[in-house]
Amino acid sequence: MVANAQVSPDSVSSTYRKGVFHTHITRHVNAGIEQTNQMLDSLISQFQINPEMLYDWALEGTGQQHDGTEKDDVILILRSTTYNPKAHRSVMIFDVDVPAFKRIKDITIESIITSEKPNHDIRHINVDMYTSLVLKHAHGILTAKQIAPGQCVLQMDVDIKFGWFFNLFITQKKYKALAEFRLVKFIDNLKYCASHPTTFIGVKTGGPRKK
C-alpha cells in the first residue's frame, strides 16, 4: 500500500465491439479495505442465499418492481433463487417486464461468483452469468483496492453479450439507458454503503438514500 497514493477520480465509460458491450467504472470510497470487505462479504452472501435482500441497498433503484422505476424500459421481477455452495452456483428465476411490449416469464439466469484476495489491500470478485433469451453471457470483475489509510478505490469491469431477443432493439444508446445506468447505480450504492456500514445488513431504510 502507498500511503500517499493519488486518489483516482470517479469515472464511467462504455464501448461496443463484436456484439459485446464493455463498461468500466471507477469510484473512490471513504472507507478502508477492512470495512469495504465487510460490505463485499454481505454482497456475496446475500447474492448467494437471498438476492432479494440486495434490493434494500446494493441494487436499490436498479429497476425491480415497485422501487419507483416502473417507467423504465425494463423491469426485473425476481421470482426465486437457489444456491449450490459446492459449485458456488446460483440459479435465479426472473420475469422481465418490458412496458408497452410484453412480460417475459420464467427467465433462468445461472451465475457463479468467486472471490480472491491477492494481498491484504486488494479484493477481487468475479461473477459469470449465463442464460439464453435475455442474456447470453455476462462477466464482471469488481476490485477493491486500498490506496491510503481509510481510502479505497472500487473498480468494476463488465462485459455483456445479450441474447437474440434483446439484440433486436438494444443499440449503444439503449445500452446506456438500460444497462450502464444500472451498473453505475449499483457501484454508487456500494460506494455509499462501504462508508456507512449499517446500511448493508438488508434492513429497509424507508426511502432513497442521499448519496
pLDDT digit of tens for each residue in the chain (211 aa)? 334 445 557 999 999 999 999 999 999 999 999 999 999 999 999 888 888 888 889 988 886 544 454 445 667 788 888 888 887 788 888 887 776 667 788 888 899 999 999 999 999 999 999 876 778 899 999 999 999 999 999 999 999 998 877 777 788 888 888 889 999 999 999 999 999 987 765 443 333 344 4
Cβ-in-10-Å burial (0-12, 13-18, 19+) of 197 comes to middle
pLDDT for the residue numbered 72? 58
- 8 A C-beta contact, residue 130 and residue 110: yes
pLDDT for the residue numbered 205? 38
Q: What is the pTM of this model?
A: 0.82
pLDDT for the residue numbered 200? 66
pLDDT for the residue numbered 73? 66
From the CA atom positions of the chain, what is the Rg in Å?
Answer: 17
The CATH class given to the 21-58+110-196 domain equals alpha beta
Q: Helix 181-194 and helix 33-49: axis angle, to 10°?
A: 130
- Collapsing DSSP to helix, strand or coil, 81 comes out as strand
Q: Are strands 102-119 and 89-98 parallel, antiparallel or unpaired?
A: antiparallel
* Helical (H) or strand (E) element with 165: helix 164-167
Domain definitions of the chain by residue range: 21-58+110-196
State the virtual CA torsion across 108, 19, 21, 180 in degrees, nearest 10: -60
Cβ-in-10-Å burial (0-12, 13-18, 19+) of 98 comes to middle
Q: What is the DSSP letter of 199?
A: G
The 3-state DSSP composition of the chain as helix, strand, coil percent (nearest 5) reads: 25, 45, 30
Which residue type sits at 126? Answer: N
Distance spanning both ends of the chain, measured CA to CA: 28
- 8 A C-beta contact, residue 168 and residue 64: no
Pick the closest to residue 199 from 48, 58, 8, 13 (CA basis).
Answer: 58
Cα(152)–Cα(1) distance, integer angstroms: 11
